[in-house]
Structure 1
Amino acid sequence: MEERNALSTQEVADMLHVSKSKIYDLIKKGEINSYKVGRKVRFMEKDVKEYIARSRNNQPIAAASASEDFNLMGSNKKNEGFIICGQDLILDVLSNYMRLHGIPALRAYIGSYDSLISLYKNKVNVASAHLLDIDTGTYNIPYVKRLIPGIPTVIIHLTWRIQGLYVQKGNPKGIYDWKDFGRDDITMINRERGAGSRVLLDENLKLLGIYGSFIRGYGNETQSHLAVASAVSSGKADVAVGSEKIARQVDNIEFIPLQKERYDLVIRKEDLHTAEMETLLKIIRSDTFKNEFEHIGGYDTSDMGKIIERI
């Protein structure tokens, strides 16, 4: 009989904010204990906690959450390592590559808006953003100008992604577009304020004259694409906004593509030629790194590493 405190691969991946493939890699390397029940891989909760404790001490993998590794009100965390902000899997892989090059990269799992604010306050080394400015139809540049005033910055393209709607398999409510949020039979689940997906939703609602306060579930916020997709999958909500990649990882949902978005890295210009930043650029411009995402789906890395703007 399977033990009560046994965890699945997906549950452990969610705890560590990494992909399932990363968990299998940890098993292969012997870095985390596991066992099998039939053909299913299972983990004891105590073994996962021991792995997290080892990771904090040795920093081989940035598995801690944003609240553990990053505090917006705390001291200058840049003194503790090279900090990369954002919630996409691609940043976890990048951090691992940085560590392989001898740079103690840490992760802060916070949204686009807060990432840029943190860069402005000089608390992080790299911010990530996918913030649409509906007035200009451009991504990130207007927000960087507004949120990081007076500080020369460089915007580096990381990947193109597709944003859209998560609905239950079979789309029982017939949800296909932003205007469906105005229906009174729809319950949604939202991302936190400042997340790129939240900004995309709010900008489109504004165009349609739909007030968030009129939408059932608009005030129900969570911190990740995976969490909102899981809520839709389980029937707790009819719709949510998120990226295509996550839709491939969660059962019982369908993805309605609506927007191609640019996902960028933002750094201070003064840091561009530091050893750490030159290493980062070398990594993301390499074929080896790009090939990591060739078969995952949901990423277009053709322009990865290209400098978009110097502000």
Structure 2
Amino acid sequence: MNKFYTAQEVADKLKIKKTTVYELIKRGELSSSKIGKQLRVSEDQLSLYLNGAAKNSVSAQHHDYQPESSLLKRDYLLHSSGLIISGQASPALDLLLNQLPSTPGNLPVLQSHMNTYNGLYSLYFEKVHIACAAAAPEDVRSLVPGLSLTALLFCQYPMGFYVKKGNPRNIHDFPDLTRADIIFANREKGSSRRVLLDRTLKSSGISPESISGYRNELVSDYSTAAAVAGGQADVALGESYAVRSFPELTFLPLTQETLYLIMHSENLDTPGFQAVTETISSENFRRTLALQTGYDTTHTGEIFSI
């Protein structure tokens, strides 16, 4: 029987800190499973990580360096007993993982905590089965070229600025980020928020170096919102849902973002993948997600080829 370990139990086995275990999971080096609201690492996942680390150590000792593509394309999927879905913390993804077990034909789901860019990159190198990504179809095609892909529309939600209640700094648009009295809390490269920011700055002719705080990267909407709430920054870019946890903040909508599940088209009709599409397309899922988050689920469950 496949055992499951807590982060602390994994830390004890590897003789490392618990925080290091979470960092390995966040970077996608150690796969994990979500059981209820808790992260667990199975015995098989831990063995895969240890085997990979041992192989890397041997290669380094003999200076037998493989091409990057070979290093990335390990046999994670061949040894997986379920679906590996990449995606950062999201109420939509959390709801899917909670409802999947009650859908006929479901498989165990292992969540790999990666942002949009790294998730699509991992889909290309066959490290994940499904990438949860907020990216336009043309961006997906450029990151995952030459493959037949299917996109399942997950949900849509507003993107905008987090500012203090009453907007005391009078921040309204991207040019305001360049003001000398404004400190920005940025997201990490590869996140959809960072892609939106960098793309907008380039199209507007705004230099990133003119923005105080641009180089200070945080890894979630909650962490950037907390920076604004705590006074370490004046503004951050993220989705509206995160503001619910910070009553001292106001959300200023700027645009709308669409979240997709991206997968290889050939897998769409296989049992585990069917359970994912059936869950998301169900009226119960759409209604619950809309009520819990306020997300737009009008097109949730729509499927199209990329």
TM-score normalized by the length of structure 1: 0.74
- Report the Cα distance in structure 1 between the residues aligned to 2:211 and 2:40, rounded to whole angstroms: 30
Q: Deviations over 1:244-296 (max 9, x none)?
A: 11112223111000001211111001111110111111101111111222322
- 2:252 corresponds in structure 1 to 256
CA distance in 1, matches of 2:37, 2:108: 9
Between the aligned partners of 1:162 and 1:65, the Cα distance in structure 2 is 32
Whose helix proportion is higher, 1 or 2?
Answer: 2
Shift of 1:197: 0.6
SS at match of 1:248: helix
The correspondence of residues 161-176 of structure 1 with structure 2, limited to 5 A, is 161-176=157-172
- What is the CA distance between 1:161 and its match in structure 2? 0.7
TM-score between both structures, scaled by the size of structure 2: 0.75
SS of 1:128 mapped into structure 2: strand
| Counterpart among 109, 113, 118 of residue 117 in structure 2 | 113
1:140-173: CA deviation from partner (whole Å, max 9, x where unpaired)? 2111111111111011111111000001122111
Corresponding residue for residue 143 of structure 1: 139
Q: Cα gap change, 1:240/1:59 in structure 2, threshold over 3 Å: closer, same or farther?
A: closer
Select 1:127's aligned residue among 116, 124, 131: 131
Residue 86, structure 1, aligned to residue 87, structure 2: yes
2:76 aligned residue: 77
Letter in 2 for 1:77: Y
Other structure's SS at 1:294 match? helix
Distance 2:255 2:280 in 1: 24
Give 2:75's aligned amino acid: N
Amino acid at match of 1:273: D
Distance (whole Å) between structure 1 residues aligned to residue 131 and residue 192 of structure 2: 13
Unpaired runs of 5+ residues, structure 1, are 1-15, 17-55, 132-139
1:214 positional shift: 2.0
1:208-228 deviation line (CA, Å, top 9, x unaligned): 211112211101111111111
What percentage of residue pairs aligned between the two structures are identical?
Answer: 34
The answer to whether the Cα contact below 8 Å between 1:60 and 1:99 also exists between their aligned partners in 2 is: no
Provide the aligned C-alpha RMSD in A.
2.7
Note the C-alpha offset of 1:116. 0.5
Cα distance in 1, alignment partners of residues 160 and 178 from structure 2:
16
Distance 1:122 1:216 in 2: 38
Q: Is the 8 A contact 1:272 1:278 kept in 2?
A: yes
Task: Tell me whether 263-272 or 77-86 shows the greater mean CA deviation.
Answer: 77-86
- Counterpart Cα distance in 2 of 1:245 and 1:113: 21
Counterpart for residue 60 of structure 1:
35
Structure 1 counterpart of 2:221, which letter?
H
Distance 1:195 1:179 in 2: 21
Q: Distance in 2 between matches of 1:215 and 1:65?
A: 39
Do the aligned residues in 2 keep the contact of 1:117 with 1:147 (CA within 8 Å)? yes
Structure 1: which amino acid aligns with 2:119? S
3-state SS, counterpart of residue 295 of structure 1: helix
SS of corresponding position for 2:237: strand
Distance 1:144 1:58, change over 3 A: closer
The reply to whether residue 298 of structure 1 matches residue 294 of structure 2 is yes
User: Which amino acid in structure 2 is aligned with residue 197 of structure 1?
Assistant: R
Deviations 1:188-237 (A, max 9, x none): 11111010011111111112211112211101111111111111111110
Q: Taking structure 1 as reference, are residues 198 and 57 closer, same or farther at Cα in structure 2, changes over 3 Å only? A: closer
Which runs of no fewer than 5 residues in structure 2 stay unpaired? Answer: 1-6, 8-30, 50-70
Between 1 and 2, higher relative CO (CA 8 Å, sep ≥ 6) is seen in 2
Distance in 1 (CA, whole Å) between partners of 2:33 and 2:203 is: 49
Change (3 A) 1:58 1:231: closer
Corresponding residue pairs, total: 249
1:194 to 2:206 alignment: no
Tell me the distance in 1 between the aligned counterparts of 2:114 and 2:140: 16
**Cα contact 2:185–2:227 (8 A) shared by 1:** yes
Are residue 225 (structure 1) and residue 217 (structure 2) matched?
no
- SS of the equivalent of 1:122 reads coil
